[in-house]
Structure 1
Amino acid sequence: MYVPLNVGKHWISMCVNFVSRSIDVFNCEGLKYNKEMEPFAFLIPRIIKVVQSSKSRQELKVKQYTVSYAPMPYLLNKSSSDCGVYVLKHIECHLLGLDFSLVNDNNIREKLQKIAYDLWEAANDHELILRMAQYTPPKTITNPLVELE
């Protein structure tokens, strides 16, 4: 599961691997956000346990996920305002098994313009606008609160 995460005025991304019980963090600044990642490492296994069937739930051992940081090139994202684009491109590289060196300051400006254009194009797509106007959200089902151990 890929998750973009805002930490203050900066964006990072993470990949939660339910099989290996780990979280990979991608940060173009190369800094570690241990304080921000700890709640995820602690709560995700507990959430997984709660959604299991009652038989599986009793057998499932809750263990905190490990957090690791993907190595990033030194002084990446010198402008520091494009971290959102880096987040999307790091997710894309990880998902496709591509090397992170493809995400660099030399090509990120072009990617930023491409994403902006794609968003503008979608916002002006008459078919999409019509579908969104006709959209009705599904009714929510309320369940009693579940206490996490």
Structure 2
Amino acid sequence: MEEVSFHIMEAQVFDCGGKKNNKAVEAFAVLIPRIVKAVQSSDKKKDFNVKQYAVSYVPMRALNTSGNDCGAYSLKFIECHLLGLDFSLVNDENIQEARHKIAFDLWEAANDESLQYQMSTFKPPKRAPEKTVELF
């Protein structure tokens, strides 16, 4: 999981599996500013400086020792980030309970009659014709 900080131009990588995927992460760090530039208005785009983001790995020791909880860890880390909670609240001792809570919340949402009705009547918005965006 990555967190991108636009104001300090850094991508922080939370890798609880301990596998540094340097090639993929470095490619992503190069791509981020190009994407940001591509979505700028034309008057700002010409002065926008395209610079590679720095990459830092956040130490995540002794997590996900089973190797099967990446999804649950990702969701809980996102939740901690959004709520401003410390990441140390999520660990191998409580991840199974978190998985059960996530599963229950999904089951409960799937059986909610008003949500089922909203999903059955949903009409996606009409999309504007796609524009070609040059990233480089």
Q: Does 1:101 align with 2:88?
A: yes
Report matched runs for 1:1-149 at 5 Å. 13-73=1-61, 75-149=62-136
Is residue 25–residue 68 contact of structure 1 (8 Å, CA) maintained in 2? yes
| TM norm structure 1 | 0.84
Partner of 1:122, secondary structure, is helix
Q: In structure 1, list runs of 5 or more residues that go unmatched.
A: 1-12
**C-alpha distance in structure 2 between counterparts of 1:122 and 1:40, whole Å:** 34
Give the superposition deviation at 1:39: 2.4
For residues 24 and 91 of structure 1, the distance between their equivalents in structure 2, rounded to whole angstroms, comes to 13
Number of aligned residues: 136
Give the Cα–Cα distance (whole angstroms) in 1 for the partners of residues 76 and 130 of structure 2.
Answer: 37
Alpha-carbon shift at residue 60 of structure 1 (Å): 0.7
TM-score, normalised to structure 2, is: 0.92
Q: For each residue in 1:74-107, what CA deviation from the matched residue of structure 2 results, as whole angstroms up to 9, or x when unmatched?
A: x321211111111112222233333322111101
**What do you get for the CA RMSD once the two structures are aligned?**
1.4
**Deviations, residues 25-50 of structure 1 (Å, cap 9, x unaligned):** 11212331111212221111111111
| C-alpha contact (below 8 Å) 1:27/1:87 kept by paired residues | no
**Contiguous gaps of at least 5 residues in structure 2:** none
Question: Which structure features the higher share of strand residues?
Answer: 1
